[in-house]
Amino acid sequence: MAALTLETLDLVNPDLYVQRGYPHEEWALLRKEAPVFRYVRPDVEPFWAITRHADVVNVSRQPDLFKSSQLLFVTQDEPGSPLPDEAVLRQLLNMNPPEHGEFRRVVNQRFTPRSVQQLKDQVERITTEVLDELVGREECDFVTEVSAKLPLAVIAEMFGIPRADWAMMFRLSNAMIGPADPEYGGSETIKENLEKARMEFFQYFNQLCEDRRKNPRDDLASALANGKAFGEPLPPFELFSYFALLIIAGNETTRNATTGGLHALISYPDQWERLKHDPSLAPKATEEIVRWTSPVIQFTRFATADTVLGGQQLREGDILVLFYPSAARDEEVFERPSVFDIGRYPNPHISFGIGEHFCLGANLARLELQVMFRQLAQRMEFVELAGPTQRMRSSFVGGIKHMPIRYRIRAR
Stretch that binds another protein, among 68-76, 105-113, 235-243, 326-334 (CB under 8 A): 105-113
Stretch that binds another protein, among 194-202, 304-312, 358-366, 367-375 (CB under 8 A): 358-366
- For another protein (CB under 8 A), the number of binding residues is 19
Contacts of 164 (CB under 8 A, 6+ apart): none
Q: Quote the CA–CA distance of 316 and 339 in Å, as a whole number.
A: 39
Distances (CA, A) of 140 to 128, 146, 257, 301: 16, 9, 18, 40
Contact predicate 209/161, CB 8 Å: no
Phi and psi of 312, rounded to 5°?
-105, 140
Q: CA angle 159-163-167, nearest 5°?
A: 100
Q: Which of residues 113, 186, 269, 317 is near another protein by CB under 8 A?
A: 113
Stretch that binds another protein, among 106-114, 201-209, 231-239, 283-291 (CB under 8 A): 106-114
Question: Does residue 385 bind another protein (CB under 8 A)?
Answer: no
CB of 61 to another protein, least distance (A): 5
Closer CB to another protein, 19 or 112, in the complex: 112
SS3 call for 208: helix
Q: Which of 265, 262, 258, 252 is nearest to 297 (CA)?
A: 252
Contacts of 408 (CB under 8 A, 6+ apart): 138, 380, 381, 382, 383
CB of 345 to another protein, least distance (A): 13
Q: Which of residues 17, 27, 47, 111 is near another protein by CB under 8 A?
A: 111
Closer CB to another protein, 350 or 380, in the complex: 350
CB of 145 to another protein, least distance (A): 32
CB of 101 to another protein, least distance (A): 5
Q: Which of residues 115, 122, 312, 378 is near another protein by CB under 8 A?
A: 115
* 346 cis-preceded (ω within 30 degrees of 0): yes
Query: How much is the CA Rg of the chain, to the nearest whole Å?
Result: 21
Q: Which of residues 5, 8, 112, 313 is near another protein by CB under 8 A?
A: 112
Question: Does residue 290 bind another protein (CB under 8 A)?
Answer: no
Contacts of 113 (CB under 8 A, 6+ apart): 363
Contacts of 148 (CB under 8 A, 6+ apart): 170, 251, 255
Q: CA angle 138-143-148, nearest 5°?
A: 125
Name beta bridge partners: 404: 141
CB of 262 to another protein, least distance (A): 26
* Site string (293-332) toward another protein, x via CB under 8 A: ----------------------------------------
Q: Which of residues 5, 8, 19, 108 is near another protein by CB under 8 A?
A: 108
Closer CB to another protein, 237 or 358, in the complex: 358
Closer CB to another protein, 182 or 345, in the complex: 345
Closer CB to another protein, 366 or 401, in the complex: 366
Distances (CA, A) of 340 to 18, 286, 330, 333, 371: 22, 11, 14, 15, 20
Stretch that binds another protein, among 78-86, 108-116, 130-138, 383-391 (CB under 8 A): 108-116
Q: Which of residues 3, 114, 164, 336 is near another protein by CB under 8 A?
A: 114
SS3 call for 308: strand
H or E segment at 47?
A: strand 47-50
Closer CB to another protein, 72 or 354, in the complex: 354
Stretch that binds another protein, among 14-22, 109-117, 220-228, 306-314 (CB under 8 A): 109-117
User: Which positions touch another protein (CB under 8 A)?
Assistant: 60-61, 98, 101, 108-109, 111-115, 348, 352, 354-356, 358, 362-363
